[in-house]
Amino acid sequence: MRIGNMTSALGVRRETGERIQPAEVVRRCAADGFEVMDINLCGLHRGPGMFRGEGWRKAAEELRNEAEKCGVSFVQSHLPYRSMSMKPDVELFSTPEGAEKYRELSLRAIEITHILGGKWAVIHPMNDREAVVGDNEAHIQYNLRILDREIELCHKLNVGLAFENIFDQYHLRRFGMRALELKQLIDYCHDPLIQACWDVGHGNITTEDQSAAIRVLGDHIKALHIHDNNGRDDLHVFPFTGTVKWESVMNALYESGCKADLVLETTGSRMPDHLRDEEQKMLVSICKHLVSLYQ
């Protein structure tokens, strides 16, 4: 199990408000001790960025070269996801053109994952709002329907789709909150390229002890999102600053045969620039300790 970070890890430069670009994040994370990276493309559909223009393929190739130069590799990505409450997403999906643009960028994100050498693209499962709540089969069919082009592209490029465990929001039941629901989807597809991502922070919100859920998915877990919280809110704080039972989580991952890398998904740093690397080195120490518990 190697330790990794997302390209969103360094957040926005406090001093200027400018987002720190993936190449700089890769360089700094590598220097601070991380071994693998996750290309975070969650916001690809929400605004400008290095992958929005015509030269996105070249940008991805350059980023891969940069990572290789630094001795780190991309192992996974976070695909764009559709928020039902965020204004830009609601607006985007209000027109057929907007929805098609999103689709184009969702496919592009899979291709970027491939160019970077990533093996797994993490995606949030969606609810079929026309179906009966709890009708998992309907939700599974819906996800496979709305992601048909993504799944086809994944097969063409040999990149897997990892469906992530999510959590109920505003008391609305969501499909994909339970490990058993993800397992049902995986079993239904019976496809080595359709597997699971386990988000430990989300697991802490939805269960008292997530080790049972982890054991349900076992080696179907191909990607990890590592962060902590207070058991109520999706805070994305550092491991060991919330209530996650890390000892039991790491043991369950080991015993159930999960072979994914340990990839942090903490909130983008808000530290002053000269303290960011100190903070990241602290996170490297935390990750190494977590890996020592993977037994």
Partner 1 sequence: MRVGTMTSLFRGRRESPEYIGYIESIRRCHQAGFRVLDMNMCALSRRQTTLHQDDWKQQVDEIANEAARLGMEFVQSHPPYRGRLDLELMSTPEGAEFFENMMLRAIEITKMLGGKWCVMHPATDLTVETGDIEAQIEYNKKIFAKELELSAKIGVGLAFENMCDAGNRRKFCVTADELIALMDSCNSEYVGICWDVGHANRMMDNQIPSLLKLGDRIKALHIDDNRGKDDLHVLPFTGFIPWEEVMHALYVGGCKADLIFEIGTCGDKMPECLKDEAARLCYKVGEHLVSLYK
Min CB(200)–partner 1 separation in Å = 14
Min CB(37)–partner 1 separation in Å = 22
Burial class (CB in 10 A: 0-12, 13-18, 19+), 258: buried
Min CB(237)–partner 1 separation in Å = 7
Distance CA 54, CA 47 (A): 15
Q: Which is closer to partner 1, CB of 103 or CB of 281?
A: 281
Q: Are 140 and 185 in contact (CB under 8 A)?
A: yes
Q: Which is closer to partner 1, CB of 102 or CB of 246?
A: 246
Q: Alpha carbon of 18 to those of 49, 50, 146, 224, 265: distances in Å?
A: 12, 13, 34, 28, 20
Q: Which is closer to partner 1, CB of 145 or CB of 274?
A: 274
Provide φ and ψ at 248, rounded to 5°. -75, -35
Rg (CA), the chain: 18
Q: Which is closer to partner 1, CB of 141 or CB of 230?
A: 230
Q: Are 217 and 180 in contact (CB under 8 A)?
A: no
Distance CA 295, CA 191 (A): 28
Q: Which is closer to partner 1, CB of 151 or CB of 237?
A: 237
Min CB(268)–partner 1 separation in Å = 11
Residues that bind partner 1 (CB under 8 A): 14, 230, 232-233, 235, 237-238, 240-243, 267, 269-272, 274-275, 278-279, 282, 285-286, 289
Min CB(282)–partner 1 separation in Å = 5
